[in-house]
Homo-oligomer: A and B are copies of this chain.
């Protein structure tokens, strides 16, 4: 990884963290409502995934703010969406869980656990059919690996040798339920083994995630069929703002935070790329400003007009 990319990843991670902290603050202030799922602790994973898979199509879950902005969507438009404003990426109609932007090949923002996986399979079929170079990546949580949609997708993607990267974000919990209580395995790659090549990576290590996913991406682009990558990581917050998350004890959280992806990346910037404190601080400040701007923009943005209620029911008047 060259220095520029390392800086870029670090910047996006910090941007992501600050974005999430701002979202949290504005949720508590009542500017944002509904379910808000924060990605704090997982930024290294989210950012590295987007950088490694910069060109293909991405399908993901409701925990997608950091991915969306790292993918290139304007933080202003994403924050405005969280605020439910008309300047939001989905004109305030989708909300935090439903960020869509085809111009960045970003298709959700799906709030049905596992629901996006068959969609990604279909998209991968389209890519193969059209003989396009780039494949598709689908991101989902450990909780999704117990559902039928996931399994049907493993089977179909494998039978059809589709250019699809299954990326499992294994943070060990589905809301309050520890994965090992409802799955026979701690690592869900086990489930994909009969169907495709699987890889595991430390999801708290952005560089490792980046390297692993690039390898996986090359494999799918080269026609090897689907690949499954599992990233082991931690979310720091509760599942969503309505979950205090007290099913995890202090010790567990402490171990998690010792693996903090931002600190780790920072250390690398220092040690490997020889960035100074000041340089790092400048990146952080730039990120903070971008988030402040996003909040300011979102606050000032207008709400949708009531007439919009009836827009986009169909592609045109029928």
Chain A residues engaging chain B, CB cutoff 8 angstroms: 146-152, 155-156, 158-159, 181-185, 190-191, 193-195
Collect the chain B residues with CB atoms within 8 Å of residue A150's CB.
151
Knowing that A156-B182, A158-B184, A193-B194 touch, tell me 14 more A-B residue pairs with CB under 8 angstroms: A146-B155, A146-B156, A147-B148, A148-B148, A150-B151, A151-B152, A155-B191, A159-B181, A159-B182, A159-B183, A159-B184, A185-B194, A190-B194, A194-B194
**Closest chain B CB from A193 CB (angstroms):** 6
A148 contacts B146, CB within 8 Å? no
Closest to A146 in B: B155
Collect the chain B residues with CB atoms within 8 Å of residue A185's CB.
194
Which residue from B146, B155, B182, B193 sits with its C-beta under 8 Å from A183? B155
B193 contacts A184, CB within 8 Å? no
Collect the chain B residues with CB atoms within 8 Å of residue A183's CB.
155, 159
**Closest chain B CB from A54 CB (angstroms):** 29
A146 to B146, CA, bound (A): 15
A152 to B148, CA, bound (A): 6
A152 to B191, CA, bound (A): 11
Classify the interface of chain A: helix, strand, loop or mixed. Answer: helix
Collect the chain B residues with CB atoms within 8 Å of residue A193's CB.
194
A146 to B183, CA, bound (A): 19
Collect the chain B residues with CB atoms within 8 Å of residue A156's CB.
146, 182
Closest to A153 in B: B148
Collect the chain B residues with CB atoms within 8 Å of residue A184's CB.
155, 158-159, 194-195
Collect the chain B residues with CB atoms within 8 Å of residue A149's CB.
148
Collect the chain B residues with CB atoms within 8 Å of residue A151's CB.
148, 150-152
A194 contacts B191, CB within 8 Å? yes
A193 to B194, CA, bound (A): 8
Among all A-B residue pairs, the 3 with the closest Cβ atoms? A148-B148, A151-B151, A158-B184
Collect the chain B residues with CB atoms within 8 Å of residue A191's CB.
155, 194
Asked if A147 meets B158 with Cβ closer than 8 Å, knowing A194-B191, A194-B193, the reply is: no
